[in-house]
Each structure stands twice: as C-alpha cells, then as structure tokens.
Amino acid sequence: MKTKSLLLAGIAASTLSGAALAAPVAKEDMVLVVSVINTTNPYMISNIEGGKALSEELGIPLEIVNSNGSSQTEIAGIMSILASGKTPIMFVNTVASSDAPTIVDAVKQAGGYVTIWWNKPADYKPQDVGDNFVAFQKIPGLSSGACGAKAIAESIGGKGNVVLLPGVPDSTTSKTRVAGFRAEIEANWPDIKILDERPSNWDPQLGARNAQDLIVKYGDQINGVWSADDGMQIGAMQSFENAGLLDKVKFASDGLYPKTLEDIQSGRGNNAIVGETFHRGYMASAVGLYTAYLAATGEIVPSELSDDKRESLFQLSCVTPGNYQQYLQYDEPGAPAAFVDRLVQNGPWATDPMPLVGGGRADASEW
Amino acid sequence: MVNHLLSRESKGPTGLILAVVALMVVFSFLNPRFASVENLQNVLFQSSVPLIIVVGATLVILMGSIDLSVQGVMGAAGMAWILITPNTRTGLDYGVWAWVIALGTGVALGLFAGLIYERLKVPSFVATLGTWYVGLGIGIMLYGNGLLPSLTNEALARWPTRLTLGIPNSFWLAGAVVVVGLVIMNYTRFGRGLLAIGNNEAIARSSGISVSRYKIMALAIAGGLSALAGILATMQLGSGSSDIGSTQLFTVIPAAVIGGTALSGGEGGVLRSSLGVFLLVILNNGLVLAGVDPDYQQGVFGLILILAIVTVAWPHRNRLKVAK
C-alpha cells in the first residue's frame, strides 16, 4: 500500500511539470537493477560486479537482467522486475539505442530511477523526460579512437600504413571510436595511411579471419593494426603471429583486458601492443546506479543539475606500456568494493580514475 | 572411386564445383593475390573448423533431423580442453586426457540430445536447441569471471597453422574428417541407413534398420565433431572462450543446404556440404581481397550467393525439394 501510494505520488509529481518532487524513497523499498547485454563478455561481467559491490555497500538487494543480446528479452526482463512493487534503481546497458525510450517510460510509470549507459537516441534527453530518467552516461568513444591512433602513429615514427577492425558496424560505440581514430590521423599524422577497414563484430574469431585476409591482401605493407576492442585485437594478434609478422607490426585497442595486460607485461611480439585505454565495467555500473540512488533518496534533484550531469562523459585513460602499472590496482580482488567506497565518499562525478569530464552537448550520444 | 562418389552424392556436384571455380577466377582477376599460395593456404585454414562441423551436421540432416547444438558444444568442449591443457589460468596439463575429456563432453552432449530426441520423442530442432544452451551454460560456467585462459604451449598454439606438405595442419585434420565422413556415408550400413531414414522412416524401419539407435548415434557423432571443431577453434585463436563457436551454426547449415543437402533429408552428402563450405569461405575471403567497401560487403555477399545458387540449381529446378 505504501509503495502504491509512493508510486501514485511519483506519477502525480512527474505530471506536475516536473518541478514538484516525489517524496524520497526509503531504502527498504528499493531494489538495485543491473541490466546487461549478455553475461559472457568480460565487460558485462564487470558491470555485474559493480552492481554487487554497491548492493553490499548500500545494503539494498540486487537484481540482474541478462538481455542475451536481444532488446525483447531486455525489455521483458525489466518489465517483470518493475512489476515486483519495489522502487527500482537501475543501470541499463542498452542493447540498442532505440530501447532507451521504452525502458525509461516503463521505469517512470513504476516510479523508479534509471541511468542509461552507452546507447540512446541523440535527441532523447533526460532533461526532457523528467527526474526518473536521471542521466545518460558514457565514456567518449572519440577519445578511445584518438588514444589508439596517437599510440600507433608515434610508435611507427609518424609514417606508415594501418588497418582498422571496427566492431558491429552500426553500434554507436564502434562508430565513435572509429571516428576518433580517423580524426586524430587526419588532424595530426599526414603520413599515416589507412589501408582498409573490416568490421569484425566484436568477435575475436572474425577479427582473426579478417586479419588473415588483410595480411594476404597487403602483406608487410601493414605497419599498424587498430581494433575497436581487445577481443578482436586478441584474434588479430594471433593471425599476425601465425604469419610471422607480429614483431614488425604495432597494435592498439580499447579495454585493457587481462590477456592484453599480460601481453604488454611480457612484451609479446617485440612489444607489439603500444596503446590501450582503460575503463572498467564495474565503475560504469556503480556510477550509474549510485547516481540513480541519489535521485531516489532526494540527495540530488536531477532537474536542478547542470546539463553535463544529465548527459555525462566520463574520463577515459590512455594506457601505454610506460604507464600501465598504475591501472593494475583496479583489477585486484576487492577493487570494485574499494571503488564503491570512494564513490560514496566523493559522489558520482569526482571519483578517480573516472571523473566527469564533459557532456551536456546536443550530441553527447554521438561522442 | 571419385566418379563413383560424385554420382552417389545425388546427381553429382559438378555445377557446384564450377561455381566455386568461377568465383575463384573472378576474384583472381580482381586481385591477383587471391590466387597466391599464401591465400589458398589461408582459405584452407579458414575452412577447417566449418568443414569438421559440416560433416556431423550433414549426417544429421540426411536423416531428416537437424542439429542446432553446434555452438554450445563447441563452447563447452573448447573451454574444457583449454583448462586442462597448459594454459595461463589453471596450470593443469592432462595431456592426451584433455582431448579425451573434451571430445567425450561433445559425445555426451550429442547423446543427451539424441536420447531426448528419440526416447522422449521431442523434435530434434527442440532437443538440440536445448542442448545448445546446456553446452553454452557449461562453457560459461567453466569460463567464470577469471582471466581469459590462453595456451602456454607454443607448439600446440602453432600446430593448426604449421604446414605439412604445403597444407596447414588444421586442414589435414578437417580433410581426414571429411574422408571418414564420406566413407561412412557411402560404404557403411550405418551411412546407407541414415539416408534410408531420411527418405522414408517407415520403410527404413520395416526393412529392419534400428532407426532409434541410428538417430542417437548420428547425434552423438555430430556432438563429437562439434567438440573437435571447438578444440581446433580454441587452438587457432590461442585462447579459450565460451563463445568460440559464435556464428558457426549459420555458416554450416547454409553451407549444407547450398551444397544441395536437402533439409527434408535423404538427399545430398558430405562432399556437397563441404563444397558449400568452400563456396562461403571463398566468397567472404574474395570480397575482402577485392576491396569491396565494408558497408556493402554483406549485401554483395548475399547477392553473389543467390546468383551462384540459382545458376547451380537451375537444371534441377523442377526437382528442388523446397517448393514454396
């Protein structure tokens, strides 16, 4: 009954031009929800870890929605949790941009609070929806591509040929990373030529196959290989190793997977990996959930926040063989709990290594 | 013997061979590197995993059933194998037992699907779909949240690409599987029995074939071959993943159908399905070498495929099994 009246209050409040506010939700009425695209990708597994750590820290139960790569499964899973009667505090790693409005509407109806990560339609803004859509957050893909481009270009002396392995061609994440790579080369490296680009769907095996075909096509003309994530890079490196070319080619990518870290540490292939980026799934989910939690408790009022806190870009770190050591601490056992401790102390926008760095621009989802 | 085999493979796959050759000629003109020894080795290497799977898939399809469990079995067997072969995560080395256990996992999953299919009379589509997820579940469980396991034994990691008589080892393995598949299909009672079941199960039963046992055996063999493919794919990648089989199902089933193995059963064969695999691999490889813009690659792939199939199937169009 109490939940129901809160729910009604929530709906009433949001219809009152968004200025009036729902009463703060009590902790025992909340449930944390982490919705991920699948449970096999290391990044998604890490998203879940972040949810678990925050759940322990705040003493609020956690529910996981595994979308299994399907928007339908994702929405059905979220709906069933919304029907449970508790107030959902949600982090959603959307399967497709177009899922965001449907999910947000349902959460709003249920009086919950949601933060969307990575994908949403560009013109669908939290500011226009109201306080229940607390924020859209992401790490800028453009910076990721730029990190990789700079690292490869420097390592081959500013001159040579590179090939690119993007992810799923129509994913915003892949598109922005590729755009960042191309922009950096165009702006600063006139003697670097992009020979070819073969989307490899985030799949290590497809990355390996495409790399084999590119080796046959260009042979030793290839000086650098950039992949939109480490999974595809792992496949590509294996192909270059098989072809006896690993020692002569430089690689850069995104994610700093444990396997990649190992290869940097061991100097595999004459220090083949020259650039990486660092961000962890547990940080994204913890920041997303905690932002929504603060809105639910009334500690922040989303409609009073500045635009960059509604459509937010968080810092991405460029990693090189020279500085990778400083990121090892974030993969140690207990690292998610330690991050969550600092998150609760410093708030969602000022926690290292992922502070807020920008956002609020009209095209934040295209960054 | 070759002629005999070709004629046994239902009307002879001459059209299909011509289609593959025509594609190769066109791609060689578009990029001379296509016909290089290096690329032919590359094509053979890339064909190995789907070839091994297609042999098992064909046995099952010929008897009018279907095996959808491929990717799950590959994930389970690949993970089982790498975790007990020298790797960066567990430090275990079971030697030859790693192969036995991994292949056994595949056979067991195949038997599981076969028993559900045959004893509980659940359609193979459903029984093997369920087995897919059971296999994937085992793979994910083994994968856990730990480090990505990578092979530490250089010799093993290099084995699939290493050349023997100019041909990659992985293809020798796939070739051997195809030959064994051909022999089973054409020269054993079991093979003929599968075809008979696909043609008409009631007649096969009345002529004394143990239909139930044959069906279970075919699915167990397919499971074993998917497991072998999972191990080979893991070796090729040098790392284990529960997703190691990703997208293989949609290479292999179309390859069998393109080759002329009818989904209704009783028609086609291992050789035709293998040619279907080559057609798909060459098409993908050729489009990359020809420099087709990645934005158009999928579309061009589909168009050329339809063109090739229509050309190959034109003389037989009245006899095609799929009428609607």
- A199 contact residues in B (CB cutoff 8 A): 294
DSSP code of residue A134: E
To the nearest whole Å, the CA of A132 is away from the closest chain B CA by 32
Of A40, A205, A234, the CB nearest to B143: A40
B143 contacts in chain A (CB < 8 Å): 40
pLDDT over threshold 80, residue B87: yes
The pLDDT value recorded for residue A82 is 87
Tell me how many degrees the CA angle A298-A302-A304 measures, rounded to the nearest 5. 100
Across the interface, whether the CB atoms of A257 and B150 are under 8 A apart is answered no
Provide, as residue numbers in chain A, all residues whose Cβ is less than 8 Å from the Cβ of B33.
Answer: 216-217
CA distance A260 to chain B (A): 10
Share of chain B above pLDDT 90, in %: 52
Distance from CA of A128 to the nearest CA of B (A): 34
Q: What is the pLDDT of residue A350?
A: 95
Q: What is the pLDDT of residue A18?
A: 40
A110/chain B closest Cα distance in angstroms: 33
User: How close A314 gets to chain B, by Cα (Å)?
Assistant: 25
Is this structure's pTM higher than 0.90?
no
Q: How far apart are CA B193 and CA B203, in angstroms?
A: 11
Q: How high does pLDDT run on average in chain B?
A: 88
**With an 8 Å Cβ cutoff, is B158 touching chain A?**
yes
Find the residue in B nearest to A232 (Cα).
B237
Is beta strand B167-168 parallel, antiparallel or unpaired with respect to B163-164?
A: antiparallel
In Å, what is the CA distance from A98 to each residue of A65, A76, A104, A119, A172? 18, 15, 11, 8, 12
Residues in chain A within 8 Å Cβ distance of B42: 212-213, 215-216
Question: Phi and psi (nearest 5°) for A36?
Answer: -120, 160
Q: Which has the closest alpha carbon to A286: A353, A240, A362?
A: A353
Tell me the residue length of chain B.
Answer: 324
pLDDT, tens only, B114-127: 999 988 989 999 99
Calculate the CA B204 to chain-centre distance. Answer: 26
**B294–A199 C-beta distance less than 8 A:** yes
Q: What are the DSSP E strand ranges found in chain B?
A: 163-164, 167-168
Q: How many CB atoms lie within 10 A of CB A362?
A: 11
The ranges assigned to domains in chain A are 2-139+280-316+326-366, 141-278
* Whether B251 contacts chain A with CB within 8 A: no
Contact B127, B5 (CB under 8 A): no
Q: What is the 3-state secondary structure (H, E, C) of B185-220?
A: HHHCHHHHHHHHHHHCHHHHHHCCCCHHHHHHHHHH
CB–CB contact B88 A40 (8 Å): no
Nearest CA among A6, A8, A11, A3 for reference residue A23:
A6
Residues A148 and A230: their CA atoms lie apart, in Å, by 12
pLDDT for A8 equals: 47
Nearest CB to A235; choose among B36, B147, B237: B237
Mutation for A interface: B36, B42, B79, most A CBs within 10 A: B42
Task: Tell me if chain A has a CB within 8 Å of the CB of B148.
Answer: yes
Q: Do A242 and B289 touch (CB under 8 A)?
A: no
CB neighbours of residue A8 within 10 Å: 12
Q: Per DSSP, what are the bridge partners of residue B21?
A: none
Q: Is B291 on the interface with A (CB under 8 A)?
A: yes
Q: Is B267 exposed, middle or buried (0-12, 13-18, 19+ CB in 10 A)?
A: buried
User: Could A205 and B45 be called an inter-chain contact, meaning their C-beta atoms sit closer than 8 Å?
Assistant: no
Within an 8 Å CB–CB cutoff, is residue B153 touching chain A? Answer: no
**B234 has a pLDDT exceeding 90:** yes
* Domains of chain B in sequence order: 2-315 (1.10.3470)
For B133, nearest residue in chain A (alpha carbons): A68
Residue B146: pLDDT band (50, 70, 90) is low
Q: Strand, coil or helix: what is B166?
A: coil
Please judge whether A262 and B150 are an interchain contact, meaning their C-beta atoms are less than 8 angstroms apart.
yes
Q: At what angle do helices B270-289 and B37-62 cross, to 10 degrees?
A: 140
pLDDT band at B72 (very low <50, low <70, confident <90, very high): very high
In order along its 367 residues, chain A shows pLDDT tens digits of: 444 444 444 444 444 434 334 568 888 889 999 999 887 777 888 999 999 999 999 999 999 998 888 888 888 888 898 888 889 999 999 988 888 999 999 999 989 999 999 888 888 999 999 999 999 999 999 999 999 999 999 999 999 999 999 998 877 889 899 999 999 999 999 999 999 999 998 888 899 999 999 999 998 999 999 999 998 999 999 999 988 999 999 999 998 988 898 899 999 999 999 999 999 999 999 999 999 999 999 999 999 999 999 999 999 999 999 999 999 899 888 999 999 999 999 999 999 899 999 887 655 556 6
Cβ–Cβ of A204/B237 closer than 8 Å? Answer: yes
CA distance B58 to chain A (A): 24
Higher pLDDT, residue B151 or A289: A289
Query: Do B294 and A238 count as a contact with CB atoms less than 8 A apart?
Result: no
Q: Which residues of A touch B250 (CB under 8 A)?
A: none
Residue A219 and residue B289 in contact, taking contact as beta carbons nearer than 8 Å: no
CA distance A169 to chain B (A): 8
DSSP string, B238-269: SB--TTTTTT-HHHHHHHHHHTT--TTSSS--
Q: Is B274 on the interface with A (CB under 8 A)?
A: no
Architecture per CATH, A2-139+280-316+326-366: 3-Layer(aba) Sandwich (3.40)
- pLDDT band with cut points at 50, 70 and 90 for residue B10: very low
State how far residue A171 is from chain B, nearest Cα, in angstroms: 13
Cβ proximity of B53 and B229 under 8 Å: yes
CB atoms within 10 A of CB A206: 21
A196 with B291: Cβ contact below 8 A: yes
CA distance B128 to B122: 10
A1-11 residue pLDDT tens: 444 444 444 44
Q: Is there a contact between B88 and A169 if contact means CB atoms under 8 Å apart? A: no
CA of B324 vs chain A CAs: smallest distance (Å): 30
Sequence-distant (6+) residues with CB within 8 A of A247 are A269, A270, A272
pLDDT at position B19: 86
Nearest CB neighbour to B161, from listed A197, A242, A259: A242
Instruction: Please give the pLDDT value at position A22.
Output: 57
Query: Which range has the worst mean pLDDT, A131-135, B237-241, B263-267?
Result: B263-267
Radius of gyration of chain A (CA): 21
How many residue pairs from chains A and B have C-beta atoms closer than 8 A? 81
More confident site: B202 or A249: A249
Whether the predicted pLDDT of B324 surpasses 50: no
Which pLDDT score, from 0 to 100, does residue A4 have?
A: 47
Class of domain A141-278: alpha beta
Per DSSP, helices labelled H in B120-168 are: 124-143, 154-158
Q: Does B285 touch chain A (CB under 8 A)?
A: yes
